[in-house]
Amino acid sequence: MKNHFLWICLLLLVGVSSCKSLQEKGNDQFLSGQYQYAINTFSQILAEDPDNREANQVVAESYRLSNRIENAAPYYQKLIEEEPTFESYYRLGLSLKALDKKDEAREAFEKAKDYTQDESYLAETQRQLESIKLSQGIENYWPNHVLANFKDLNTAGPDYAPVISEDFLYFTSGRQASGIYPADGSPYTKLFRARAEGLRVDVSGAQALPEFKNEEGLNQAAIAISPDGNTIIYARGNSTSDKDLPETALFASYFRGGGFTQPIWLPVNEDETWWNSTPAFSPDGNELYFASNRPGGYGGIDLYKATRLANSDFGNPVNLGPTINTPGNELFPRPMADGKLFFSSDGHPGFGKLDLFVAENDESGTKVIRNLGENFNSINDDFGIFFTEYPKAGFISSNREGGVGDDDIYFFEDKTPKPKIINVLLNVYTKQRVAGEDDAVLEQTRVVLYDSLNKQAGGDFSNSNGRVRFTLAPDADFSIIASKTGYFSKSITYTTRGKTPDVSTLVQDVTNITLDTTIVLDQLVLDRSIVLENIYYDLDKAEIRPDAALELDKLVQILKDNPSIRIELSSHTDDRSSDAYNQDLSQRRAQSAVDYIVSQGISADRLVAKGYGESQLIIENATTEEEHQVNRRTEFKVIEIQE
């Protein structure tokens, strides 16, 4: 019995020693940044002891620090069950937010506020709550852009950050990896290129970067190439060698003497312990944008801009400020020639982790940040936008669900439907008025079309059928004037509003609608009187009534359409008063009509007022009111045609 007891104790001692060794190993891996190895090690401990606080803590933090916080939720939950803290609730909220569990994330953030009095912690937690609220109202920046996985280019490992320079697509990839990056367990990345024309890429010809040799045992990523093609800047880091640089930094290679130089560390890094990555050149090549965690920023990783110096290096880096940078992380800047800056962020309101945003000026000139929307962004990381045809086509990178591997390259195109076209074909028929007969065709009449801005939009002579055809835009206003020697010129207004079908109901790309209108011209004969119908005056008065003004407006238009004519405007009375009275009344009425016409912009030199009283009765010895009304009339006649 004693021997059995000693044997059991020995087994327990070995087990405790083994467990302790495993824990120490995991801690060493975590402290050295080998997060995936630490996860693997502590997962073994959790398999035997699911409530082990240290194991849950390290696994949760390892996922968070290797940009996989969405996997950390169950481990933070375990920590909360044992001992709730602000940090555990806050990071659980971040994890749930990355999983698109907005209600649960909101609840975790609200509970986190109960475990701190720190004003900065409370402010950051409130910012997260506001971010969740704002993310629910995001609209697509480009509603008709469509995203697709570039399956032929992607591999099972990481593929991301494509840029195009001189007919080549350059990108980062884990293909041909020489080892595993211990922080997240993914293959080390190298720089590659393939021939490309816009979105068309010769995938079969993809090769490792030929300008200089990729190094082994570290990550080379996020390449930027100057507009002239003579400078390559990229991020290099995560080496397992103790003799290498301690942090990711920017390196540059320059075209010299027919080839590119070996990459060198850029002075803009400033400190070997600062993380610097995701470079991009300004459109003119005189500025370098990049992301850095250097001190003095607004959060974890901020965006900076450095200026090209006289020696061609970049220096004097400037933080892009709190409108763009947040307490979160901002990466992958892409400045455009129109002043817009595209970038990725997990600090602005979004759909998940890194989302794509644009910084632009609104109507008042104020810098605003807009999320590109759910046709670009997902609950995972979406980043590294590059335009092949701005803003209609290009590439982004994403590790969203449904991809080929880890980070994948996606392409996007503007799929805005072609607008349905409606052509209004207007037939204008020109005719002449013939007394006692139907209007007759008037050929060889000059017909001119004007748009709503009074700009000529077409003109031609009517054919033997008296027709001229114009093509008009729908929902627009026009004017048409017809003229021919020996006839009064005449203008009319014409609108296509309400005369075409609803575009949304159309099937064909082009629909032609044919409409007709007619312009009838009167012969222009010197000294031939033309009666103006419906010109009435109140009894014994000469003032122009509103109904008479409407009729006189027609004469105003005739005078405007025919600027070379002078007219006599005459007024006639019936014979029911004295000759002298009727003469005076008719003269006053004629003058009132002329005064009205002058008030509408017609020169007084073109008008003569003449009262004829009862001297030119049409019906002698009139007895009925109808006969008297025929005698009471207003007429005009052309008395001069100026050349």
pLDDT digits (tens, 9 = 90+) for 340-361: 999 999 999 999 899 999 999 9
Task: Tell me what pLDDT residue 629 has.
Answer: 81
pLDDT band at 87 (very low <50, low <70, confident <90, very high): very high
- The model's pTM is 0.69
Give the highest mean pLDDT range of 180-189, 394-403, 631-640. Answer: 394-403
Q: Is 506 buried (19+), middle (13-18) or exposed (0-12) by CB count in 10 A?
A: middle
Task: Tell me what pLDDT residue 96 has.
Answer: 93
d(CA 161, CA 408): 9
Mean pLDDT, the chain, integer: 92
Q: Above 90 in pLDDT, residue 459?
A: yes
pLDDT band at 216 (very low <50, low <70, confident <90, very high): very high
Task: Tell me what pLDDT residue 20 has.
Answer: 55
Question: What is the C-alpha end-to-end distance of the chain, expressed in Å?
Answer: 139
Strand ranges (DSSP E) for 522-620? 530-532, 565-572, 607-613
pLDDT digits (tens, 9 = 90+) for 122-143: 999 998 998 888 888 899 999 9
Mean pLDDT computed over 173-197: 93
pLDDT band at 1 (very low <50, low <70, confident <90, very high): very low
Mean pLDDT computed over 486-511: 91
Share of the chain above pLDDT 70, in %: 97
Per the structure block, which two tokens stand in for 364?
């008042």
pLDDT digits (tens, 9 = 90+) for 14-40: 444 445 589 999 999 999 889 999 999
Q: Classify the phi-psi angles of 621: left when phi > 0, otherwise alpha if psi is within -120 to 50, otherwise beta.
A: left
Q: What is the CA radius of gyration of the chain?
A: 42
CB atoms within 10 A of CB 485: 9
pLDDT band at 12 (very low <50, low <70, confident <90, very high): very low
Higher pLDDT, 388 or 120: 388
Q: Above 50 in pLDDT, residue 9?
A: no
| DSSP codes, 124-191 | HHHHHHHHHHHHTT---SSTTEEEEE-TTT--SS-EEEEEEETTEEEEEE-TT-SSEETTTTEEP-EE
pLDDT digits (tens, 9 = 90+) for 296-340: 999 899 999 999 999 889 999 999 999 999 999 999 999 999 999
d(CA 424, CA 497): 11
Q: Which domains does the chain have, with CATH numbers?
A: 2-135 (1.25.40.10), 145-414 (2.120.10), 421-521 (2.60.40.10), 530-641 (3.30.1330.60)
The helix/strand/coil state of 256 is: strand
Share of the chain above pLDDT 90, in %: 77
Angle between helices 86-98 and 119-135 (to 10 degrees): 20
- Looking at the DSSP assignment, which residues form a beta bridge with residue 48? none
Q: Above 60 in pLDDT, residue 4?
A: no
pLDDT digits (tens, 9 = 90+) for 538-592: 767 888 888 889 889 989 999 999 999 999 999 998 888 899 999 999 999 999 9
Task: Tell me what pLDDT residue 13 has.
Answer: 39
The helix/strand/coil state of 257 is: coil
